[in-house]
Structure 1
Amino acid sequence: MSARFQLVIDCADPARQTAFWAAALGYVREPAPAGHATWKAYYRSLGVPEEELEEMADDDADSIVDPDGAGPRIWFQPVPETKAVKNRLHLDIKVADRTAALQTRREQVDTEVERLTALGATVVRVPEEPAIDHYAVTLHDPEGNEFCVG
């Protein structure tokens, strides 16, 4: 039997990260658990100290979910330290039609890269020459986490 999992991404600003990644992946901000009007109210019910909730707006979500239920939940865990080194794990966003000609796939990837940079991503690396059958662009999300579009 396969295991269920969530992906956890350390960050400084969960609200900014949930907004970016929900738009990037076609996910939605996860609604507060049943019986709670907001995530802040939910965390209060768990006994999270008020000083830890000071920066959180009442309507902030710190997780996103696939509206179709196919992909994993992604939780953006606030941490005090900033990102310092390259990720050991990163997301690959697949947008290119693997059955199409390389030039068509390159155009599909470049179009998605334009959309993601408009959302706050930064291009890190574009291959000077695509591989024989592969083209992918490396980007940073708003907090500097690497991901690829291919």
Structure 2
Amino acid sequence: MDGDARLTRQEASDAVAGLGWRLVLGAIYAEVPVSSLAQGSQVAALAVEAAGDDGQGHLSVDIRAQRAVLRLQSAAQSAMTALDIQLAQTISAALTGRGLRLVPGSVQALEIAIDALDVRAVRPFWKAVTGYVDESGPSDLADGLIDPSGRGPAIWFQQMDAPRPQRNRIHLDVDVPHEAAPARIEAALAAGGRLLSDARAPAFWVLADPEGNEACICTWQGRD
């Protein structure tokens, strides 16, 4: 298969299911538990070496004292490609060959959703005030903006049909591995939340805190 070929969400999820990676918000992630920053740096170096030149524009690594989080996605397409799957396989083999474990862990991605009657009117403000940039290609984010440094949550804009003065118009979307969604929802309900809608599940569930502020638990499923 052509390395640039875009994959469906189902294809990407199935391809990495046994490798310790999970599909979250258009990218695949794996967490490697480490005992120190030094070991985290070693994990990053091993992953970069295994990926080679093909890793440029696809692989990123977040290093912390207890874990290194690996992320793969085509930056050029803002999507999963066949090459990303090949890199996941190569990196997994290199790390497990050194006795390291790849686990889905607590991997998640955060989005800020802004409801707007006129997306074209409000989007430039949020782009300017955050210093964010346009995504480079089509993705899970409608009219999405992203942090060019890769640190902040993504922003997307939800088209409103009519004003809703009695409802919050900015909410959080929390994207988690698909098998983690039920536990996250159960925890939110146990903490005093309410389930407002599961009409679009398993793509997302709409929940609210005790005062009605909303958040969505999201997965890749139900979107292809």
| Bin for the TM-score computed over the shorter chain | 0.3 to 0.5
Structure richer in strand, relative to its length? 2
TM-score, with normalisation over the residues of structure 1? 0.36
